[in-house]
Chains A and B, each alone.
Chain A
Amino acid sequence: MKLKGLFSTAVAVLCGLVVLAGYFVRLDILVNASNTLITWAILLTAFAILLGIINLLIVHVGKITRKQKGGFYSIILIFAMLATFAIGLLAPHFPPASPAFDFAFRAVQLPVEASLMALLAVTLTYASIRLPRRRLSVFSVIFIITGLLVLLGTAPLPFLGDTPLVSDTLRPTIAQVLAASGARGILIGVALGALATGLRVLFGADRPYGGK
Chain B
Amino acid sequence: MIGNEIILGLVAFGVVFLSAGLMLALSILRAKNPPSFRSLPAFDRLRRAVGRVVEDGSRLHVSLGRGGLVTPQGASALAGLSILRRLADLTSAGDKPPIATSGDAALALLSQATLQEAAENSGQLDYDPSAGRLTGLTPFSYAAGAIPPIRDENVSATVLMGNFGIEAALITDVANRSNTFSLASSDNLAAQAVMYATAQETLIGEELFAAGAYADSGPFHASSLTVQDILRWLAIAVMLGGALLKAAGIL
Binding site for B on A (CB under 8 A): 20, 23-26, 38, 41-42, 44-45, 48-53, 55-56, 58-59, 62, 68-70, 73, 109, 112-113, 116-117, 119-120, 123-124, 127-128, 131, 143, 183, 185-190, 192-203, 205-206, 208-212
Complex contacts, A50 vs chain B, CB 8 Å: 105
Q: Counting CB contacts under 8 A, is B245 at the interface?
A: no
- Contact segment of B32-40, B47-55, B90-98, B228-236: B228-236
* B189 close to A183 (CB less than 8 A): yes
Q: For residue B197, which residue of chain A has the nearest CB?
A: A127
B48 to chain A, nearest CB (A): 17
Q: A55-B130, A56-B135, A199-B224 are in contact. Are A186 and B117 (CB under 8 A)?
A: no
Q: Counting CB contacts under 8 A, is B113 at the interface?
A: yes
Q: Counting CB contacts under 8 A, is B70 at the interface?
A: yes
Choice from B117, B138, B187, B210 contacting A194 with Cβ under 8 Å: B187
* B130 close to A52 (CB less than 8 A): no
* B166 close to A49 (CB less than 8 A): no
Q: A51-B105, A55-B129, A212-B85 are in contact. Are A193 and B114 (CB under 8 A)?
A: no
Choice from A188, A209, A211 contacting B235 with Cβ under 8 Å: A188
* A123 close to B24 (CB less than 8 A): no
* A190 close to B187 (CB less than 8 A): yes
B217-232, CB < 8 A from A: 218, 220-221, 224-225, 227-228, 231-232
Chain B: interface residue total (CB-CB under 8 A) = 81
Q: Counting CB contacts under 8 A, is B110 at the interface?
A: yes
Q: A199-B23, A205-B221 are in contact. Are A120 and B170 (CB under 8 A)?
A: yes
Q: A189-B205, A197-B79, A208-B113 are in contact. Are A203 and B220 (CB under 8 A)?
A: yes
Complex contacts, A26 vs chain B, CB 8 Å: 6, 9
* B106 close to A131 (CB less than 8 A): no
Cα A208 to Cα B76 with chains together (Å):
13
* B231 close to A192 (CB less than 8 A): yes
* B205 close to A206 (CB less than 8 A): no
A189 to chain B, nearest CB (A): 4
Choice from B85, B105, B235 contacting A192 with Cβ under 8 Å: B235
Q: Counting CB contacts under 8 A, is B237 at the interface?
A: no
Q: For residue A68, which residue of chain B has the nearest CB?
A: B152
Q: For residue B14, which residue of chain A has the nearest CB?
A: A24
Complex contacts, A49 vs chain B, CB 8 Å: 105, 137
Q: Counting CB contacts under 8 A, is B214 at the interface?
A: no
* B75 close to A194 (CB less than 8 A): yes
Complex contacts, B130 vs chain A, CB 8 Å: 55, 58-59, 62
* A42 close to B23 (CB less than 8 A): no
* B108 close to A55 (CB less than 8 A): yes
* A127 close to B137 (CB less than 8 A): no
Complex contacts, B164 vs chain A, CB 8 Å: none
Q: For residue A143, which residue of chain B has the nearest CB?
A: B196
